[in-house]
Copies of this chain bind each other. A is one copy, B any other.
């Protein structure tokens, strides 16, 4: 049976072109890019080609501003801990939001245990941060602001450029976790005006466990991984060259196909939003109607548990998720959904439907049909649903 992947936020398939360059890299068996003999120089050339491809995707002023990492989590840890610790003599206050990914939350929590003070801003009911709240939170001790570019559970885009402008005026470093945005929506680090930007290859159909950190030239930051002189002394360790070559190719294709992919994904998303009420009633939409990723739709369906829906759809051959894969196994309700003001019950009924260029309109229809069946079954055995339905009649 053909399986349908509507859990792209957890894992995107590799593009055929990405597979091809990775397999070629495995067969070529590159030497160490830091070595000075011919084999080393050939490997270094492959590494720098991937850096140029990646820098172009985010429009870095120079490829040197892109540091390769082992993924979004390393990039975020590096950005936040590295920037905070390198600048702590100027102050120990950090501003962030309540809806960040756990990589941001836990990095900042670690700094808190080391004497930093943190202001964590709430979002409005659409899931957006108000730039004015950021401006109001700044004090003389503020050295770092970290606000995500898009949220991985709701898909909502944040007003990053506006916040970056406020930070720049106050000479405060600004980091954005753009892990779910880079490669999916156009990102221009120069236009955004950020100092630090984290991203991951698997968001744009590259391999998992590979990512990058944009570090604007002149930004004061400590390395997270220290040792050798790789990555311009910004990130030590022998490079995952096979993965990096894969990311480079994926970045090149994401850059070239950006408009085409945006159009296609937006069409799928609009179809889903439009068709949804024909299959399901009584649900809340968590995704911002205007400022949101083209490939993610989050809904909270009343009177059911998302976890049960996920398992029943899985039996029907459809993969979806209820929240960030990074938080799997946690029994607590999502901090992101609670921040939107959802009740605990509604948060538990949340589904994150994330799709990609490999999905089709018929995938969406198959999903909606299966979802309708599943929700009806679950509601039939839900005492809460019966009670509510009865009281409404």
User: Given A242-B207, A327-B229, A314–B38 Cβ distance below 8 Å?
Assistant: yes
Determine how close the nearest CB of chain B comes to the CB of A9; give it in whole angstroms.
9
- Give Cα A222 to B81, complex, Å: 14
A339 interfacial contact with B, CB 8 Å: no
> Is A98 an interface residue when CB atoms closer than 8 A count as contact?
no
Query: Which among B71, B226, B244 is the interface contact of A238 at CB below 8 angstroms?
Result: B71
Q: Answer yes or no: A130 CB below 8 A from chain B CBs.
A: no
Task: Indicate if A270 sits at the interface (CB-CB under 8 A).
Answer: no
Nearest residue, chain B, Cβ from A74 = B225
Is A310's CB within 8 Å of the partner chain B? yes
Is residue A156 contacting chain B, with contact meaning CB distance below 8 A?
no
Say whether B228 contacts A35, CB under 8 Å. Answer: no
Residues of chain A in range 5-45 having any CB-CB distance to chain B below 8 Å = 5, 7, 10-11, 13-14, 19, 22-23, 26-27, 29-32, 34-40, 43
Contact between A240 and B243, CB atoms less than 8 A apart: yes
Q: Which of B74, B102, B314 contacts A37 (CB 8 A)?
A: B314
Residues of B close to A31: CB separation below 8 A: 5, 7, 10-11, 319
Residues of B within 8 A of A325 (CB): 32, 34-35, 40, 228, 238
A240 CB to nearest chain B CB (Å) = 2
Set of chain B residues within 8 Å of A96, measured between Cβ atoms: none
Docked-complex contact A39 and B319, CB < 8 angstroms: yes
Question: CA–CA, A106 to B229, complex, Å?
Answer: 11
B-contact bits for A155-198, CB 8 A (1 contact / 0 none): 00000000000000000000000000000000000000000000
**Which listed residue, B226, B320, B326, touches A236 by the CB 8 Å rule?**
B326
How many of A's residues come within 8 Å of B, CB to CB? 77
Partner of A239 from the list B101, B209, B242 (CB cut-off 8 Å) is B209
Q: How far is the CA of A329 from the CA of B33 in the complex (A)?
A: 12
CB-defined contacts of A212 to chain B, threshold 8 Å: none
A14 engages B40 (CB within 8 Å): no
In the complex formed, the residue of B with least CB distance to A80 is B226
CA distance A32 to B200 in the complex (A): 14
Interface residues of A in 32-63 (CB under 8 A from B): 32, 34-40, 43
A228 contacts B14, CB within 8 Å?
no
Q: Is the CB of A27 within 8 A of B36?
A: no
* Contact A238:B38 (CB < 8 A) given known A11-B31, A13-B29: no
Give bound CA distance, A7 to B207, whole Å.
28
Contacts of A200 in B (CB 8 A): 238
- Cβ 8 A contact of A208, one of B37, B105, B227, B240: B240
Query: How far does the alpha carbon of A11 sit from the alpha carbon of B23 in the complex, in Å?
Result: 18
In the A-B complex, the 9 residue pairs with the smallest Cβ-Cβ separation, listed nearest first, are A209-B240, A228-B326, A103-B227, A73-B237, A70-B70, A106-B226, A10-B32, A11-B32, A34-B325
13 intermolecular pairs with C-beta atoms under 8 Å apart: A7-B32, A11-B238, A31-B319, A37-B311, A77-B225, A103-B237, A106-B226, A202-B238, A209-B240, A209-B241, A228-B327, A236-B326, A240-B240
Given contacts A10-B31, A74-B225, 8 further A-B contacts (CB under 8 A): A10-B34, A11-B39, A14-B29, A73-B226, A102-B226, A103-B226, A103-B228, A210-B240
